[in-house]
Amino acid sequence: MVKRLIATVFAGLALASSAMAEPLKIGYSDWPGWVTWEIAIEKNMFEEVGVDVEFEWFDYVASMDAFAAGQLDAVTMTNGDALVTGATGAQNVMILINDYSNGNDMIVAAPGISSIKELKGKKVGVEIGFVGHLLLLNALEKNGMTEKDVELVNVPTNETPQVLASSQVDAIVAWQPNSGQALTLVPGSTRIYSSKDEPGLIYDVLAVTPSSLAQHQEEWAKVIKAWDMAVAYLNDESTRDEAISIMAARVGLSPDEYKGFIDGTKIMSTKEAMAFAEKADGFTSIYGSSKIADDFNVANDVYKDAQPIDSYIDMSLMKAAN
């Protein structure tokens, strides 16, 4: 009986040890704020802070699908998409603000159109119900217009350059690299509005399952510590070129091509991001920005019921890092 009890205890310990040995699985995709993680991976920063992680590379939508399917502990996404993912069944908590879009998301107009006001009565290609649509509404509102003043044409973001080039629409809404491809593909096309005109419209975050956050607080705190190390490596003039080369290699571009993408993204340390982590209305707070995204999602039938914003945001680990 004693032998059996001892065997059971050892079996239990073995299982517990096995469970603890599982790395944290994080899905990430092609956005400069998230590609920054590649620096931490390549420079062994996770080993340095003592946390076992496994990063998996996806297309953006596929990363959220994998998270929703329970294949990941965390995923990188926008604050608005964190709400969409939660409202459709995959609860998550945003624990880290990586960046905000600072120009990479843009409205690109065909030759001859140089302002938002000139879009009146024109066709705009945009992925309806997604973040580009929100950017368009913001641009129209700032110019005293509504979406009734334009004709929306639903176009997947990755197809927008070709659709603009085919003259099926007069403008498109897209983020890099698609927006840059449109500018290259259509000579004379112009950026007439971008996320730089409304900083805080789109925050990019690391969102974790509530269960993983509850079980692995210390490990997630170490992940955040590694993030700060990666950002410091990127911002240090002595290592910046190497950091950009690492990021560019991840997405198959030259370092010179990739520098422009970084310029259009305000990549932040946790200390910088804390300025946006306090509760407030409007775009200067992730709470206010998420509320605006939530209103947009409900108004556009992305989901039915308004989401409890506070339950999606936990900035405590970021605060503890400073």
Q: What is the pLDDT of residue 80?
A: 93
Confidence of residue 260 (pLDDT cuts 50, 70, 90): confident
Backbone angles phi, psi at 23, to 5 degrees: -70, 155
Average pLDDT over residues 256-280: 93
The 10s digit of each residue's pLDDT in 77-125 is 999 999 999 999 899 999 999 999 999 999 999 999 999 999 999 999 9
pLDDT more than 70, % of the chain? 93
Helices 255-263, 240-251: axis angle to 10 degrees equals: 100
Which strands, in side-by-side order, build the sheet including 123-126?
A: 151-154, 123-126, 171-175, 105-109, 190-194
Q: What is the pLDDT of residue 75?
A: 98
The 10s digit of each residue's pLDDT in 196-252 is 999 999 999 999 999 999 999 999 999 999 999 999 999 999 999 999 999 999 999
The 10s digit of each residue's pLDDT in 32-49 is 999 999 999 999 999 999
Q: What is the DSSP string of 25-42?
A: EEEE-SSHHHHTHHHHHH
Q: Say whether pLDDT at 272 is over 90.
A: yes
Task: Give the residue with greater pLDDT, 55 vs 130.
Answer: 55
Contact 28, 55 (CB under 8 A): yes
Rounded to the nearest 10°, the torsion over CA 274, 278, 281, 282 is: 10
Burial class (CB in 10 A: 0-12, 13-18, 19+), 149: middle
Task: Residue 113: name the closest of 103, 104, 121 by CA.
Answer: 121
What CA–CA distance (Å, rounded) separates 172 from 161? 8
Q: What is the pLDDT of residue 30?
A: 87
DSSP 3-state of 106: strand
Q: Say whether pLDDT at 16 is over 70.
A: no
Q: What is the pLDDT of residue 141?
A: 94
Average pLDDT, the chain: 92
Q: What is the pLDDT of residue 4?
A: 39
Q: What is the pLDDT of residue 237?
A: 97
Q: Say whether pLDDT at 1 is over 90.
A: no
Confidence of residue 130 (pLDDT cuts 50, 70, 90): confident
The 10s digit of each residue's pLDDT in 147-169 is 999 999 999 988 999 999 999 99
Q: What is the pLDDT of residue 7?
A: 39
What CA–CA distance (Å, rounded) separates 11 from 6? 9
Reduced 3-state DSSP string for 240-305? HHHHHHHHHHHHCCCHHHHHHHHHCEEECCHHHHHHHCCCCCCCCCHHHHHHHHHHHHHHCCCCCC
